[in-house]
Amino acid sequence: MSEILNKSEITKGQKQYHIALSPGEIGEYVLLPGDPARSDIVATYLDDAKLMANNREHRTFTGYYKGVKVSVTSTGMGCPSAAIAAEELINIGAKALIRIGSSAALDPNIRIGDLMISRAAMKNEGTSRFYVPDAFPAVPDLELTWALIETAREMCKPTGEAVYVGINSSDDAFYGETPEFLDQLRKYKIMNIEMESSALYTIGHLRGVRTACICGTSGNLTNQEVIYTEKNVKLAEAWEREIRIVLETIYRFEQRKNA
């Protein structure tokens, strides 16, 4: 009987098939937006940023923030694509993966442009089931998430911008969320809905890397405050804000680690 194929093992430390990156081309800290265009936005905040790869939905820049080597790789939409990016980034040296996304709120107090930081995710998706049983929790790294919360609150306090912390749901079907489904999530006190974090947390836990997630609020499904047909200015401002917060979190986290 032939040896069973282990995809992760045979590709570890080599150029990766989907993200088209090799060891040495990324930093240990990687920001994960969904949209490839947001990789370009992150690059404007980095010193000496270089485009390392642009393959499929995965667009990667690597540069430096206050001397710390940082990368950004877009994941595309949904857990399957995000899981591939996470696995391949880990294969070539990533130690911390931070999702910077957009998300719809369910908490009626949250407004477009507010920031939401996840402390756990409900797994309303199929990808995680390939890794762990449904009963297994999807949680980010505690230390990195707490550092993210502290930094976000500190940086947003002077301007009064809101930062919320709670449990999100990671869903597979953007157009499959019925009113009944959303009502059930509200009963569970779910703060918001996005599409990638639960798989990211699951893989991070199994592979021994840190994970975290911060999202700008794109709309509120409870208040029916949504913008689908025109530019969402407040969301775009939130993306910029969360990028600054995450980069500063990385710098401070690295300083503490080396203290």
Predicted confidence pLDDT, tens digits, the chain (259 residues)? 456 777 777 788 899 999 999 999 999 999 999 999 999 999 999 999 999 999 999 999 999 999 999 999 999 999 999 999 999 999 999 999 999 999 999 999 999 999 999 999 999 999 999 999 999 999 999 999 999 999 999 999 999 999 999 999 999 999 999 999 999 999 999 999 999 999 999 999 999 999 999 999 999 999 999 888 889 999 999 999 999 999 999 999 999 988 7
Q: What pLDDT sits at residue 2?
A: 54
Question: With helix as H, strand as E and coil as C, how does 129-171 read?
Answer: HHCCCCCCCECCCHHHHHHHHHHHHHHHHHHCCCEEEEEEEEE
Give pTM, 2 decimals. 0.95
Q: 76: which DSSP letter?
A: -
User: What amino acid is encoded at 244 in this protein?
Assistant: R
For residues 93 and 26, is the Cβ–Cβ distance under 8 A? yes
Residues β-bridged to residue 162: none
Query: pLDDT above 90 covers what percent of the chain?
Result: 91
Q: How far is residue 258's CA from residue 252's CA, in Å, rounded to a whole number?
A: 10
Q: What pLDDT sits at residue 167?
A: 98
For residues 25 and 39, is the Cβ–Cβ distance under 8 A? no
The CATH number of 15-258 is which of 3.90.1300.10, 3.30.2000.10, 3.40.50.10490, 3.40.50.1580?
3.40.50.1580
For residues 112 and 224, is the Cβ–Cβ distance under 8 A? no
For residues 72 and 83, is the Cβ–Cβ distance under 8 A? no
**Chain-centre distance of CA 87, in angstroms?**
14
Residue corresponding to tokens 């990638």: 196
Q: What pLDDT sits at residue 9?
A: 78
pLDDT tens sequence across 115-124: 999 999 999 9
Residue corresponding to tokens 């002077």: 158
Using CB atoms within 10 Å of the CB of residue 211, give its burial: 0 to 12 exposed, 13 to 18 middle, 19+ buried: buried
Q: What pLDDT sits at residue 1?
A: 43
Q: What's the start-to-end Cα distance of the chain, in Å?
A: 52
Sequence-separated (6 or more) residues with CB below 8 Å from residue 251: 65, 66, 68
pLDDT tens sequence across 204-255: 999 999 999 999 999 999 999 988 888 999 999 999 999 999 999 999 999 9
Domain edges within the chain: 15-258
